[in-house]
């Protein structure tokens, strides 16, 4: 497993060792000990989620203000641009973002610790997105930061089509007005 820190050191890109031949491929998608070693502490996951979306769907930027979730995310079909924003007010990287293309071809995973808002844009015709979480989903604590907040200034790819957003994602708050982590 190859682990690469991003410009926000707590956010990691994890690339498994893939064994492939004419029959297909094999890789270990999760190993608790290797993952704990990579992040420098024990992380317990309690829930696995799977979403399928079509091209142009933008989900996020989501987080839970109570019961915050760390997420280990990956794509098993298609491709997405995955985006993480640091919303820990006391962090030196507060308000900064990093992104990574995750796809069925590159097998990359993104480690998104607690204290970050997370979202993704589907780049392929469809995408199956899997993620492990460190806490349970809590609708009462879910929050959303605007995907197009000019203060954050995420550079989204031009798909030559309008992005498709849920009502919740259309009404996300600007970072300046959002509840964040101290």
Confirm whether 131 is a catalytic residue. yes
Active site residue 62: yes
- Given a contact cutoff of 8 angstroms between Cβ atoms, the answer to whether 118 and 89 are in contact is no
Q: Which of 50, 107, 131, 137 is catalytic?
A: 131
- Beta strands 12-15 and 109-112: pairing type? antiparallel
Computed on alpha carbons and rounded to an integer, the radius of gyration of the chain in Å comes to: 16
Q: Give the integer Cα–Cα distance in Å for 68 and 140.
A: 12
Q: Which residues, listed in sequence order, are joined to residue 21 by a DSSP beta bridge? A: 24
The alpha carbon dihedral of 27, 30, 33, 37 has a sign of positive
3-state secondary structure of 134: coil
Q: Do 88 and 96 meet the contact criterion of CB atoms below 8 Å apart?
A: no
Task: Tell me which of 62, 63, 107, 118 is the catalytic residue.
Answer: 62
CA distance 145 to 57: 16
Q: Which residues are catalytic?
A: 62, 131
């Amino acid at each position: 497993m190859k682990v690469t820190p991003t410009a926000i050191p707590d956010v990691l890109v994890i690339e498994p060792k893939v064994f492939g031949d004419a029959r297909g491929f094999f890789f270990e998608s999760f190993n608790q000990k290797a993952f704990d070693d990579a992040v420098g502490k024990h992380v317990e996951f309690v829930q696995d989620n799977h979403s399928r979306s079509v091209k142009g769907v933008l989900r996020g930027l989501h987080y839970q203000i109570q019961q915050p979730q760390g997420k280990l995310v990956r794509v098993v079909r298609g491709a997405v641009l995955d985006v993480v924003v640091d919303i820990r007010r006391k962090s030196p990287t507060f308000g900064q973002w990093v992104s990574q293309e995750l796809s069925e071809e590159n097998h990359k995973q993104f480690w998104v610790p607690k204290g970050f808002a997370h979202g993704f844009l589907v780049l392929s015709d469809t995408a199956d997105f899997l993620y492990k979480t460190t806490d349970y989903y809590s609708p009462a604590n879910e929050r959303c930061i605007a995907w197009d907040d000019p203060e954050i200034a995420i550079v989204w790819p031009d798909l030559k089509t309008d992005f498709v957003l849920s009502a919740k994602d259309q009404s996300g708050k600007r970072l300046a007005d959002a509840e964040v982590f101290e």
